[in-house]
Amino acid sequence: MAVLYPRAHRGAIDVGLWSAVRERYGVRTPLAELRAKAEGTELRRTLGAWDLTALGVGAMVGVGVFTVTGLVAADYAGPGVALSFVVAALVSVLVALAYAELATLMPLGGSAYTYAFASMGELVGWLVAWALIASYGVGNAAIASGFSDNLSGLSEAFGMALPQTWTATPGAGGLVDVPAALVVGLVTILLLRPVKESASWNSALVVMKIGTLLLFIVLGATAIDTANYTSFAPKGVEGIVAGAGLAFFAFLGFDAVSTAAEETRNPGRNVPLGILASLAIVVVLFVAAALVLTGMAPSELLRSGEPLAFALRYADLGWAAVILNVGGLLATLSVLLVFQLATTRIVLAIARDGLLPSWLAAVSAKHATPNRTTLILGAIVAVSAAALPLDFLIMLTNEATLFFFAIVCLAVVVLRRTEPDAPRAFRCPGSPWVPLAGVGACLYLMATFGPLIHYGFAAWMGVGLVLYAVYGIRASALRAARAKRGAETAPVAPAPPVEP
């Protein structure tokens, strides 16, 4: 460029190139149109603050505390796993404040996808959508795999050990994880019913599994051996931070609250309440459970798919371990319910915009739910849960999640500049510094993952870019609407004179 063009013209050329790129890939729906779409939704606004808090707690109190706690303690942080949860929680708070502002600004079901589309345009929106599908879809498979660990522990307690070949993925020494696939099928059937019924099921499950977790904390506290805390952070600060990257899996649920904004009464009030209240509840529970767990047994023994139940058996509290296994099963069912609900609403929003086939946006007239999308995603997640190893699924889920969390934080900064007068029922405090800190924290945690996870995520995003280039950019509803408006407003050339 420097050889071909004089310095005086480079600025104009660079601006023209940037304008061309923005015109092709940065098209976005005006905020006013998104708000109008939210007011005219086909979905029923039946959810209140308690329903949303229960959705968030239901998503977070699950595999993260019932399974991941042991992995972090054994491989990274030792008893310092409690601090890993604190670090992950601090990052989550930064992101949650951004979500709360954006969810009240655009109370639609697309979550981070909608926010990225409205702030940075279609291409960034699509990349976020593709990462969301990976986060929830792959995360669902990981969660379902945790179901089998607790089911196996429960069956062994009653002397009916299940064959490992049918309860573990190939990476864990099995052939196929049948229980994981079956529990995904059960959740899919539940989600074919009206959303209020799904929320009611979830609320009941949340109460039961929190009760189970509290039982573990109370009983386990009586069996703590302080000698287990001697080496509190065996790998130092590096191990605690690396553990936070894995522990972050436990906090994925709060953004699921925002995906239900389109089905929420008074979203400007109830969505921020649901996000922040659910996060506050689980932080206290996770830190307490981590401290009790690592006090009951040496950290190196906790690399188990059911570490809480293992610790109780280690402390000769076998009867309580059975209850914890049941709690783990309920936790899995609850989290799957929330994550599958969120995934279907994200795909619904993408299909509405034409970036995926329009038939995926069909809503059942009887139950007001996207049944086609629910069935298709249920089948995909069931197969993935049956065939893929747990550790890889969790780390890939975290990388995808941290990527779009960073974009969400950035969206707050962008929209404060491009839409400064838009009504905001909740405003992220300390902008732009707080959301920018969220961006930096997410990128830092991503950097703690190994190269295999980076390669896997890059491959997934590469497939997404190809799909966008081949289908999305051509079928985009926004581009079609703009082309139609342009054709309608274009000047009509005068008819040529008729020769006599």
Residue 375 confidence (pLDDT) above 80: yes
3-class SS of residue 363: coil
How many Å apart are CA 82 and CA 228, to the nearest integer?
14
> Which pLDDT band holds residue 344 (cuts at 50, 70, 90)?
confident
pLDDT at 290 over 60: yes
Confidence of residue 18 (pLDDT cuts 50, 70, 90): very low
34 pLDDT exceeds 70? no
pLDDT of the residue at 172: 58
pLDDT confidence of residue 484: 63
User: Does residue 22 surpass a pLDDT of 70?
Assistant: no
At residue 273, the pLDDT reads 86
Q: What is the mean pLDDT of residues 453-461?
A: 92
With pLDDT > 70 as the criterion, what percentage of the chain qualifies? Answer: 77
- What pLDDT score was predicted for residue 14? 46
What pLDDT does residue 495 have? 44
Query: Would you say residue 490 has pLDDT above 50?
Result: no
Q: What is the 3-state secondary structure (H, E, C) of 303-351?
A: CCCCHHHHHHHHCCCHHHHHHHHHHHHHHHHHHHHHHHHHHHHHHHHHH
Residue 228 banded pLDDT, cuts 50, 70, 90: very high
Report the pLDDT averaged over residues 486-495: 49
Per-residue pLDDT, 438:
95
Token pair 């079609």: residue: 480
* Residue 348 near residue 370 (C-beta atoms within 8 A): yes
Average per-residue pLDDT for the chain: 79
How would residue 109 be classed by pLDDT, with cut points 50, 70 and 90? low
Residue 69 pairs with which residues in a beta bridge? none
Residue 310, pLDDT above cutoff 80: yes
pLDDT at 284: 92
Structure tokens at 304: 């188990």
Q: Give the pLDDT confidence score for residue 55 in this predicted structure.
A: 76
Interval 324-344 mean pLDDT:
78
Which stretch of 28-42, 300-314, 381-395, 467-481 has the lowest confidence by average pLDDT? Answer: 28-42
Mean pLDDT over residues 80-100, rounded? 92
Which fold does the domain 47-473 belong to in CATH?
A: Amino acid/polyamine transporter I (1.20.1740)
Parse the chain into domains and list their residue ranges. 47-473
Instruction: Tell me what the mean pLDDT of segment 196-215 comes to.
Output: 72
**pLDDT score at 364:** 65
pLDDT above 90 (res 443): yes
pLDDT at 464 over 80: yes
Determine the average pLDDT of the residues in 350-374: 74
Which has the closest alpha carbon to 68: 384, 407, 315, 331? 331
Least confident of 39-43, 125-129, 370-374: 39-43
pLDDT given at position 6 = 47
Predicted local confidence at residue 90, as pLDDT? 92
pLDDT at 20: 46
Residue 48 confidence (pLDDT): 80
Tell me: pLDDT of 225 over 90: yes
Res. 1: pLDDT tops 60 = no
The answer to whether residues 134 and 381 touch, using CB atoms and an 8 Å cutoff, is no
**What is the average pLDDT across 55-81?**
84
The residue ranking higher by pLDDT, 364 or 359, is 359
* Residue 281 pLDDT greater than 80, yes or no: yes
User: Is the pLDDT higher at 177 or at 115?
Assistant: 115
* pLDDT of 386 over the 90 cut: no
Confidence check: pLDDT of 202 > 70? no
| Three-point CA angle 399, 267, 346, nearest 5° | 40
DSSP secondary structure string for all residues of 370-409: -HHHHHHHHHHHHHHHHHS-HHHHHHHHHHHHHHHHHHHH
pLDDT score of 411:
94
Residue 167's DSSP bridge partners are: 177
The burial of 119, by beta-carbon neighbours within 10 Å (0-12 exposed, 13-18 middle, 19 or more buried), is given as buried
Position 13 scores a pLDDT of 44
Question: For residue 76, what pLDDT band results from cuts at 50, 70 and 90?
Answer: very high
**pLDDT band, residue 194 (cuts 50/70/90):** low
Question: Token digits for 248?
Answer: 């972050």
